[in-house]
Structure formats: structure tokens, C-alpha cells
Amino acid sequence: MNILAKITISFAAMTFATLPLHAQQQASPVSLSGDVKAVKVITEADGSERTELVEPGTIVPGDRLVFGTDYANNGSDTVTNFNVTNPLPGAVRLAPDADPALTVSVDGGKTWGRLAELTVTASDGTARAATHEDVTHVRWVLASIAPSEKGRLTYPAIIR
């Protein structure tokens, strides 16, 4: 099997591995659904470029993806302090242009913070600043979701 076929198969596996997404409560009135889109740069006839989000086909290291989570409050009451946690598949890393205010974990979801505030332990036992490649999870805390309210959360990633 060639490397391109392996990446395609791995991508399909990681797409399904990220779904369903984790919510703070199993019996919550908030529904979640996730998807992954590939970022495609299209060059127009005049030479200008635009980007589109498309269904991923064959992907290779360095390709950009956007992971998305749609949420909706299907209940009759406002939901407060709702956590949406999305593990990053091992085949991707958080893109450097991700929102620096994004709450992330670099230790499998044990601790959380902004990337600039986190550290990891290097192989020699010393602490070093965490990087985008260290991120294992992203999390959003939605302060309030009114009845019938819907929204979308996204983060950019790059194939390793």
C-alpha cells in the first residue's frame, strides 16, 4: 500500500474517530454534530485566489483542514456553562493561525488553558513552552445557549 493510500485511510478513520463529540452531559437538550472540511485554494482566471471548504478526498501532509461543531439547544430552557470538547486526531496538529484565545489541552484533557500559558515536559525532564503540535484537545465553554439557539464552532488544523 502506498503512503497516499495510507493517509487517505487514516483520514477516514480519524474523521469517524472524532464523532460523536463530547458534551458536558449525555442527557443535555443541546445537540452536537461535527464535520471536517479540506481547505482548497482556487486560482481564478484573473490570477486572484479564493478558498473553499470542500469534502476531503485524498489528503497529504501539510494540507489544511477545518474541524467544525454545530450545536443547537433543542430544549425549552436556557443552558448555561456548556462545555464542548473536541479531541484532535493524532494525524493532525492545530494550525498556527488558530485563535490564540482558544482553550486547549496538551495533556489529553487533564488541564486546560490558552496555548501561550501551557507547558509540556521535554524528553530530558525539563519544561518547555507548549506548541501547536502539542495540542491534544480544544474546548469551548458556551456561557449561555437560549432555546432554539444554534451556532458553529471551528478550529483549523494541518495534516502531520
pLDDT tens figures, 105-149: 999 999 999 999 999 998 899 999 999 999 999 999 999 999 999
- The pLDDT tens digits for 80-99 are 999 999 999 999 999 999 99
Residue 11 has pLDDT above 70, yes or no: no
Total domains in the chain come to: 1
Alpha-carbon distance 93 to 111, whole Å? 18
CB-count exposure of residue 92 (10 Å: 0-12, 13-18, 19+): buried
Please state which of the ranges 16-20, 34-38, 139-143, 150-154 shows the lowest mean pLDDT.
16-20
| Cell numbers standing for residue 64 | 489544511
Give 28's pLDDT tier (boundaries 50, 70, 90): confident
Q: Give the residues across from 87 on adjacent strands.
A: 137
Q: Which residues form the domain of 142?
A: 3-159
